[in-house]
A = this chain, B = another copy of it.
Amino acid sequence: MAARLSAALTDAQRVAWLRLIRTDNVGPATFRQLLNRFGTAEAALDALPGLLQRTGKPARIASQAAAEDEIACLMRFGARLVASGEADYPELLGYIPASPPLVTMAGGVNLDWQRTVGIVGARNASSAGIKMTRMLATDLGERGYTVVSGLARGIDTAAHQATLITGTIAVLAGGFDKIYPDENIPLAHDILDNGGALLTEMPLGWEPRARDFPRRNRLVSGLSLGIVVVEAAKRSGSLITARLALEQNRDVFAVPGSPLDPRAEGGNALIQQGARLITCAEDIIETLGSADPASGALFDRDWEPDLTPDTPPPTEDDKSRLLSALTATPIEVDELVRQSGLTVSAMQMLLLELDLAGQIEWSSGQLVALRYS
């Protein structure tokens, strides 16, 4: 987790942060490494051309103009770009691995962002699932909880609708101007009109692709003390959210259902794996009393910067050694250091290069694997 700033970013800093996070292959984890290594986003941007040259792959650095343009556009939409550590940045989100350095937010100024429950489930929900969602969401709202969901069809929609008045947060998988699905554009407006919030980490104009939904789901759970799975098939986005919530050390609740109903398979399986079976909002509230979302910070993989300017850059030979140690199976960095014989500082630099070249991917913010895509 980045150090919590005492003050807001300056306009220039915000533009630099935005340029850096909008640069190819710079995700939240790489962003943090660059910031740790170079001190500021501006310094990282200055160093990027050199780093990218070493990767041997072309990569686009986001331009000053594009960043300024995005910020201006967002303002016209009534949205704001909030940086990790700023007063407006949702505190719970700051505790998750690879929390987004910047999020785009609209509305939600008076919401309680600390007492939050995520509700997720099937897009093709049954009428019983919809009814259950409404009951849970309404009761949670009346008990003072803000309900977080993903603005999808089915369960998500029911969760937002039931909490329009009490407070709801919709997390988008695409850009602010690319609400998905189209049929929920009116719901998004209703949410804002009622004081609820829309939030995304994706750039303006970004059309959500399949892979963006799991990424979005980590924010749904990241914004929540715990998440409730209402109806979920065996292999579904809701189960991904549940897994992410566990990685974030958040509570996972599931509504049970008849084993004869395929839409209950996911929830029942979660309960078998240790999720708490819930039948009403009270069951959730009881458990949340002892929730400790900050302990999710355990998973953070920030390293102290230990690479002085005098340290010689790693050699091509070092890079081959690292690449031959990596596979598609995620592995801990410490383990990689042991296996490859590289120094920690060389490892850090090489992983940064490979990150920027799009050759590796991180999971849970701490495990690294070769990317095949």
Contact = CB atoms under 8 A, between A and B. Distances in A.
Interface of A: 128, 131-132, 255-261, 264-265, 268, 271-272, 276-280, 283
A161 to B, nearest CB: 18
B277 A271 contact: yes
Contact of A259 (B255, B261, B271): B255
A133 to B, nearest CB: 11
Nearest to A267: B256
Oligomeric state, in number of copies? 2
A258 B260 contact: no
A256 B268 contact: yes
A257 B257 CA distance: 4
7 contacts: A132-B259, A256-B268, A258-B258, A259-B280, A265-B279, A272-B277, A277-B277
- From A256, A261, A271, residue with most partner B Cβ within 10 Å: A256
B256 A264 contact: yes
A283 B279 contact: no
Contacts of A280: 259
A47 to B, nearest CB: 53
Contacts of A257: 256-258
A138 to B, nearest CB: 14
Contact of A260 (B131, B259, B271, B276): B131
B268 A272 contact: no
B255 A279 contact: no
